[in-house]
Amino acid sequence: MTARAAALSLAVTLLLAADVVAQDPLDMWVGKSAGRLALSPPGFQPGSAYNPLFRVDQSFLHGWSHVNPGFDHATSSAGGVAPLTNPVEIRLEVVALDPALVVFGPAFSFTLDQPGERGLLGDANVHTHPTWFIDEEDPGFNPDQCVWQGTFKLVATAGGLQPSQPFTLLLTNVPVRGGEFPPTPTPASGDFEEDSDVDGEDAGAFAACIGGPQRRPSPSDPAITTCEVDCYNAFDFDDDMDIDLMDFADFQMEYDP
């Protein structure tokens, strides 16, 4: 009885001593659903935003890189995705990568640049940040490109879980609205020209960007922009990765010729 009381006291003490920490909503939270690895909805959902990379010029790296989004573990069930239990080993597998896009494991523990390559992320308590890197010195680097796509899946090499559904990250080397470091939520303004008004020239840019619902913008007018992130920054008022009539309604509210 004394031992149980002591154990209980110790447990309570440890519980009180533990700091309150949270999973980072900018990371992808890994769990399981229906026998498969899955990403839990409260975490970052790939494709729901552009992930900005930042300029890096070191002797061994020239290009743009960053470590977000990382991978964290789901700690409670949400959206049909339950936390993982050990034993399980989770690996990131490349399905497809745009040329010049490379993924480094933490502290270069692995390098992924070809479909089928895998790198270890961790176990049921996974919490890791790969480095997403656009290699400016890669022969396949296209200076006119502004969004690099990487499609991946999570595979379990122990634990009997099936691979996750493939997911695609949208990595960019141009500034993303609100994506500076540290991130600062910033609403769209409609001011494409960034001249502190929303006028006819911005309306022309809106026309070049609008592509309809559930389709990423694909502007093709070099005189305005060929970079979809520019469209997102100025005109995606509802942050749903498209420029549609919902955004037009908001643009009209801002329009002042």
Binding part of the chain for another protein, among 78-86, 125-133, 151-159, 211-219 by CB under 8 A, reads 125-133
Cβ distance to another protein smaller for residue 1 or 21: 21
Among the listed ranges 178-186, 189-197, 218-226, 242-250, the one in contact with another protein (CB under 8 A) is 178-186
Give the nearer residue to another protein in terms of CB position, either 95 or 120: 120
Residue 174 Cβ vs another protein, minimum distance, rounded to whole Å: 16
Q: Of the two residues 161 and 209, which places its CB atom closer to another protein in the complex?
A: 161
SS (H, E, C) the chain: CHHHHHHHHHHHHHHHHCCCCCCCCCCEEEEEECCEEEEECCCCCCCCCEEECEEEECCCCEEEEECCCCEEECCCCECCEECCCCCCEEEEEEEEECCCEEEECHHHCCEECCCCCEEEEECCCCCECCEEEEECCCCCCCCCCCEEEEEEEEEEEECCCECCCCEEEEEECCCCCCCCCCCCCCCCCCCCCCCCCCCHHHHHHHHHHCCCCCCCCCCCECCCECCHHHHHHHHCCCCCCCCCHHHHHHHHHHCCC
Footprint of another protein on residues 182-221 (CB under 8 A)? 182-184
Please report whether residue 181 would count as binding another protein according to CB under 8 A: yes
Residue span binding another protein (CB under 8 A) among the ranges 116-124, 202-210, 214-222, 233-241: 116-124
54 binds another protein (CB under 8 A): yes
Sites of contact with another protein (CB under 8 A): 16, 19-22, 24, 26-27, 53-56, 58, 60-61, 65-68, 70, 72-73, 90, 104-109, 111, 120-123, 125-129, 131, 133, 181-184
